[in-house]
A and B are shown apart, each in its own frame.
Chain A
Amino acid sequence: ILNVEQSPQSLHVQEGDSTNFTCSFPSSNFYALHWYRWETAKSPEALFVMTLNGDEKKKGRISATLNTKEGYSYLYIKGSQPEDSATYLCALSNDYKLSFGAGTTVTVRA
Chain B
Amino acid sequence: NAGVTQTPKFQVLKTGQSMTLQCAQDMNHEYMSWYRQDPGMGLRLIHYSVGAGITDQGEVPNGYNVSRSTTEDFPLRLLSAAPSQTSVYFCASSYRGVDTQYFGPGTRLTVL
List the interface of chain A (C-beta within 8 A of B): 1, 31-32, 34, 42-46, 49, 89, 91, 93-103
Report the Cα distance A99→B90, complex, angstroms. 14
B100 touching A46 by the CB < 8 A rule? yes
* Cβ-closest chain A residue relative to B102: A46
B101 touching A98 by the CB < 8 A rule? yes
- In the assembled complex, which residues on chain B have CB atoms less than 8 Å from the CB atom of A43? 90, 103-106
* Cβ-closest chain B residue relative to A43: B103
Most-contacted residue by chain A among B40, B96, B97 (CB, 10 A): B97
Number of A-B residue pairs, CB cutoff 8 Å, is 59
Q: How many residues of B contact A (CB 8 A)?
A: 26
Complex A-B: 16 CB contacts under 8 Å: A43-B103, A44-B43, A44-B103, A46-B100, A46-B101, A49-B99, A89-B42, A93-B98, A94-B98, A96-B56, A97-B45, A97-B48, A98-B33, A99-B45, A99-B59, A102-B42
Q: Which residues of chain B from 36 to 90 have any CB-CB distance to chain A below 8 Å in the complex?
A: 40-45, 48, 50, 56, 58-59, 90
- In the assembled complex, which residues on chain B have CB atoms less than 8 Å from the CB atom of A42? 105
